[in-house]
Structure 1
Amino acid sequence: MSAAAPQSELRLVVLGRTGPGQSPAGCTILGLQDSEQGPDQVESQECKHRGEAADRQLVVVSGPAWFSSGFSPEDRRRHISSFISLSSPGPHAFLLCVPVNQPTDGEDKALDALTKLFGPSALSRHTIILFTHTEELEEDEHLDEYLVTWRKDLQELVDRCGGRYHTLETRSGEEAGERDAVQELLEKVEQMVKESETRHLSCPLYDQAEERVRERQVEVVRRRRAEELASPTNSQPEEDVTEEELESVRDKAERSAGVLELDLDDIFPSTSVTPSPPSFLQGLWEKLRDWVKWLPRLVRREALLGALVGLFMGGPFGGMLGATVGSVATEVGRRKTQKTK
């Protein structure tokens, strides 16, 4: 498959939990230092940066994890409206940052929200999973193998996005490797846009946002003209607003476009409804699964065996027996590995 032709400008919306790689992802794409983003800027509000990478003009929009349970309905509506206005008339790609060293925490809800807000094509044609913290994997462990073998929850996120995923992290950590990773990501974005046969994501909500931004542009330009004409010595007649004037106030108009008409009740139901608690065994299994994920690959299988024995035997005796089985299995695996070296 031939590479897609570079776009004149790529608009990228970076989504993800605050902290686990979201801000570093935006910095890596544009080659920024963390200090250039401003203190706690990503954690509290949406930010927009323009730059150039891999011979492409980029716009990168990022913000807090509005899909998490810690946001009130009003704050969530405000944050969603903000990133929509800042990425209007529509992004070329959503990049959902997901740490591989932690259990999923709302990323599935983020994908649900993108689908309900912008339509199914937001996932199938305009979203890439961007994995972070891949340095936690073993040196000889490939990301695709890790997903299939140990992280079916993360693999499900990838499958919902047309099988697209990427990471900007490299084993060596060298600058050249990061540049290559960024170029590969942008090529994936361009190929995704080419296959979608659209210039960028387009939907009624983004049309509404673009109309609101255009109205604000005109208001800002006319207010600026009125201030200039307030002087008694200035009697120039008012002229039509030009595209150059509108573009010069674009950023200000985007940030002052206000809250959009968003129906989020179906996407984020009220927390007053208490979900039914999981079964006892289901809760134990989920804790066990999350614990086993972070173990080194050499002992994951052995530790899982021992933990399963303890889980199903139950009681103090089951715990002791499970620990013994896990230890023996780990030692056997270690000696077997040493013999093969």
Structure 2
Amino acid sequence: MASADSHSDLRLVVLGRTGAGKSSAVGTILGLQTLQAQQDSQQQSQKSRGEAAGRQVVVVSSPDWFSSSCIPEERRCLISSFVALSSPGPHAFLLCVPVNQPSDGETKALDALESLFGPSAVSTHTVVLFTHTDELEEDESLEEYLLTWRKDLLELVERCGDRYHTLEPRNTEAEEGKAVEELLEKVEQAMKESDTQHLSCSLYQEAEERVRERQAEIVRLDRERSAGEEIGEEAPPSDSQPEGTVTEEEMERVREEAERSVGDLDVDVDDIFPCASVSQSSRPTNFLWGLWEKLKSWIRCLPKLVRREALLGALVGMFVGGPVGGMVGASVGSVATEVGRRKTQKNK
């Protein structure tokens, strides 16, 4: 039993850490002016559908299931949920990546996608979607920022077949619509280059089989319920509605009910996310992340002219460590600030 959207709609799965801008991305793609802000810190996968650039689009947004703080049972449930909602397979994963944060979490996400769905899930079916681009200086393009300052983000892009995009234009709503259209064009181009439609693998095949079984069960139970109700009333003539006829709207409802009722899939999260590596790395990662958050809160108070230079010096100091790291970081930050100031004066 196929769903109404299994082959005609463009299916996108939006992934990203908490606060990466997933809800904003979904709202932009579907042209929604308002979207629940808590969706970005949601506890369950959300499925939305609509029209974008003349295409019928289904967007599944998933919580942060690849972070080290996620316990195995919760991780298995979250993965099973977004897989079932995007079955029989997404045409693309959109990995939301904030340009103003370290990329370690996104690197783990790509590793996890490869382990779950195979290398092609990343190399041919993932687009890096940069967010928080308002942190860039007004005269600085995203490309210039990546090449100059963020080689770690460029590595993410390279793993994804050099596909990246942003839905945060600095101008008008018309530019926003164009950004959505260009994103869908990149997704469709990737499909052509890979000579495949949606992503397919054993996990998605298992999900689709269970969804269809659940669909058939729901339809059968609905018919039995309807037949029971008609026994107590005057039943209409038997030829008033041919048996087995199901409207498109009804099929869509049944499909989504079946997707949401699929239990945990056969996901070996222990192999993908070894407990040993989590326990060994969680403490230093949390420590560095705490330092990073403090640095960000301090840097936001600075003028934009020196913000980037101060960040560079702070990062050098953080990773070199000790008194030497502090002196080196301060020197780097000062030199970078002076270079930026002279560049600005020259432009004037």
Distance in 2 (CA, whole Å) between partners of 1:256 and 1:240 is 22
CA gap of 1:209–1:311, structure 2 versus 1, over 3 A, is closer
Deviates most, 147-156 or 77-86:
147-156
Distance in 1 (CA, whole Å) between partners of 2:111 and 2:9 is 27
Deviates most, 104-113 or 127-136:
104-113
Shift of 1:109: 1.2
Distance in 1 (CA, whole Å) between partners of 2:329 and 2:115 is 45
RMSD across aligned positions (CA): 3.6
Letter in 2 for 1:103: P
SS in 2 for 1:159: helix
| 1:122-201 pair list within 5 angstroms | 122-172=121-171, 174-201=172-199
Q: TM-score, normalised by structure 1?
A: 0.82
Structure 2: unaligned runs, 5 residues or longer: 1-6
Shift of 1:222: 0.5
Q: Is the 8 A contact 1:150 1:293 kept in 2?
A: no
What does residue 261 of structure 2 align with? 256
Distance in 2 (CA, whole Å) between partners of 1:39 and 1:336 is 41
What does residue 111 of structure 1 align with? 110
| 1:26-65 pair list within 5 angstroms | 26-35=26-35, 37=36, 40=39, 43-65=42-64
Distance in 2 (CA, whole Å) between partners of 1:92 and 1:320 is 49
What does residue 21 of structure 1 align with? 21
CA gap of 1:68–1:94, structure 2 versus 1, over 3 A, is same
Q: Is the 8 A contact 1:310 1:323 kept in 2?
A: no
What does residue 270 of structure 2 align with? 265
Shift of 1:18: 2.0
Distance in 1 (CA, whole Å) between partners of 2:168 and 2:174 is 11
Shift of 1:128: 0.1
Letter in 1 for 2:81: S
The structure where helix makes up a greater share of residues is 2
Answer yes or no: is 1:87 the counterpart of 2:86: yes
Shift of 1:307: 8.5
SS in 1 for 2:80: helix
SS in 2 for 1:11: strand
What does residue 11 of structure 1 align with? 11
Structure 1: unaligned runs, 5 residues or longer: 1-6
Answer yes or no: is 1:229 the counterpart of 2:236: no
SS in 2 for 1:230: helix
The superposition leaves residues 216-248 of structure 1 with CA deviations (integer Å, 9 ceiling, x where unpaired) of 000000000111111435596995576856444
Deviates most, 66-75 or 297-306:
297-306
What does residue 4 of structure 2 align with? none
2:207 is matched with which residue: 206, 209, 229? 209
Distance in 1 (CA, whole Å) between partners of 2:59 and 2:142 is 25
CA gap of 1:182–1:312, structure 2 versus 1, over 3 A, is closer
Q: TM-score, normalised by structure 2?
A: 0.80
Q: Is the 8 A contact 1:303 1:327 kept in 2?
A: no
SS in 1 for 2:26: helix
Shift of 1:144: 1.6
CA gap of 1:328–1:123, structure 2 versus 1, over 3 A, is closer
SS in 2 for 1:34: coil
Letter in 1 for 2:46: C
Distance in 1 (CA, whole Å) between partners of 2:156 and 2:183 is 18
Letter in 2 for 1:31: G
Distance in 2 (CA, whole Å) between partners of 1:30 and 1:331 is 44
Shift of 1:321: 8.8
SS in 2 for 1:266: helix
The superposition leaves residues 158-203 of structure 1 with CA deviations (integer Å, 9 ceiling, x where unpaired) of 111011000000112x110100000000110111111111121111
Q: Is the 8 A contact 1:16 1:96 kept in 2?
A: yes
Deviates most, 103-112 or 259-268:
103-112
Q: Is the 8 A contact 2:18 2:40 kept in 1?
A: no
Q: Is the 8 A contact 1:15 1:95 kept in 2?
A: yes
Q: Is the 8 A contact 2:68 2:282 kept in 1?
A: no
Q: Is the 8 A contact 1:218 1:246 kept in 2?
A: no
Shift of 1:105: 4.4
What does residue 4 of structure 1 align with? none
SS in 2 for 1:98: strand
Q: Is the 8 A contact 1:128 1:161 kept in 2?
A: yes
SS in 1 for 2:213: helix
Q: Is the 8 A contact 1:221 1:241 kept in 2?
A: no
SS in 2 for 1:220: helix
CA gap of 1:241–1:120, structure 2 versus 1, over 3 A, is farther
Q: Is the 8 A contact 1:42 1:62 kept in 2?
A: no
What does residue 345 of structure 2 align with? 338
Shift of 1:148: 2.0
Shift of 1:56: 0.6
Percent identity over the alignment?
61
Letter in 2 for 1:158: V
Letter in 2 for 1:18: T
